[in-house]
C-alpha cells in the first residue's frame, strides 16, 4: 500500500446554524456540532483508507467558543495518524464573521476510526506521511494519545506505554 498525506484526506464541510439547531441561548447544540464533526471525520477516514469506516472513539472534544445562530460554521478534518487498521482524525471547527469574513477557531476534536470490510472485520490501511509542521506535530502526538487511551481502557500496561514513559521520566 502506498502511503498517503493528510492533505489527501482533507474534508471541509461548511453550513449555516439554523434556529432548529440551537439551544435556549441561541447557540449551536453541542450534539449537533458533534454530529457534524463525526460526518466530516468519517469522510476524511474513508478518503484515507478507501474502506468502510466506523467511529471507534471520540478521544477529545473542546467546546472553546459558542457558535451562535446564523453563524457560518466550517468543520475541517484530516487524518493525523494511521495505525494498522485504525486512524486518528483531527478536526478543527471555525466560525466566520458575518461582516469581515475573518475566521476564528471555535472548537476542535480528535476521533478514532477503524477501517472494516463488508463483514465488519478490521482491515489494514495505508501509512500516513505528514508534510507540514502542524501535521508532523499532530502525527507524533497521536501515538501518545493512543497509548494513553489503551492504558486507561486497561488494554495496555502502563509499563508498555513507551511514549508515555518518555513524558514522565
pLDDT at residue 44 in the model = 98
Query: What is the pLDDT confidence band of residue 7, given thresholds at 50, 70 and 90?
Result: very high
Strands (E), 68-139: 72-82, 86-96, 103-116
pLDDT digits (tens, 9 = 90+) for 24-51: 999 999 999 999 999 999 999 999 999 9
Count: domains in the chain? 1
Q: Indicate whether 63 pLDDT > 90.
A: yes
Q: Tell me if 80 is assigned to some domain.
A: yes
Distance of CA 116 to the CA centre of its chain: 18
Query: What is the pLDDT confidence band of residue 162, given thresholds at 50, 70 and 90?
Result: confident
pLDDT at residue 150 in the model = 82
Q: Tell me if 158 is assigned to some domain.
A: no
Q: Tell me if 41 is assigned to some domain.
A: yes
What mean pLDDT is predicted for residues 92-121? 94
Q: Indicate whether 83 pLDDT > 80.
A: yes
Q: Indicate whether 160 pLDDT > 90.
A: no
What's the CATH number where 59 sits?
3.10.129.10
Mean pLDDT of the chain: 93
Residue, of 80 and 154, whose pLDDT is higher: 80
How far is 29 from 50, CA to CA, in rounded Å?
A: 31
* Alpha helices, H only, 8-132: 30-49
Q: Tell me if 147 is assigned to some domain.
A: no
How far is 46 from 55, CA to CA, in rounded Å?
A: 11
Q: Indicate whether 74 pLDDT > 90.
A: yes
- State the residue range of the domain holding 30: 6-130
Please, are residues 48 and 79 in contact by the beta-carbon 8 Å criterion? yes
Q: Tell me if 155 is assigned to some domain.
A: no
How far is 111 from 134, CA to CA, in rounded Å?
A: 17
To which residue does cell 472513539 refer?
57
pLDDT at residue 167 in the model = 65
* pTM for this predicted structure: 0.90
Amino acid at each position: 500500500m502506498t502511503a498517503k498525506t493528510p492533505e489527501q484526506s482533507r474534508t471541509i464541510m461548511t453550513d449555516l446554524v439554523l434556529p432548529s439547531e440551537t439551544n435556549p441561548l441561541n447557540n449551536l447544540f453541542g450534539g449537533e456540532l458533534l454530529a457534524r464533526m463525526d460526518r466530516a471525520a468519517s469522510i476524511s477516514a474513508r478518503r484515507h483508507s478507501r474502506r468502510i469506516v466506523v467511529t471507534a472513539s471520540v478521544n477529545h472534544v473542546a467546546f472553546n467558543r459558542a457558535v451562535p445562530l446564523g453563524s457560518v460554521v466550517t468543520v475541517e478534518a484530516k487524518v493525523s495518524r494511521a495505525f494498522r487498521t485504525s486512524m486518528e482524525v483531527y478536526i478543527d471547527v471555525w466560525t466566520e464573521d458575518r461582516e469581515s469574513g475573518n475566521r476564528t477557531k471555535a472548537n476542535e476534536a480528535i476521533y478514532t476510526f477503524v477501517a472494516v470490510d463488508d463483514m465488519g472485520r478490521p482491515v489494514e490501511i495505508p501509512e500516513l506521511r505528514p508534510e507540514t509542521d502542524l501535521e508532523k506535530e499532530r502525527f507524533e502526538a497521536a501515538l501518545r494519545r493512543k497509548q494513553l487511551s489503551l492504558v486507561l481502557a486497561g488494554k495496555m500496561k502502563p509499563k508498555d506505554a513507551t511514549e508515555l514513559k518518555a513524558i514522565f521520566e
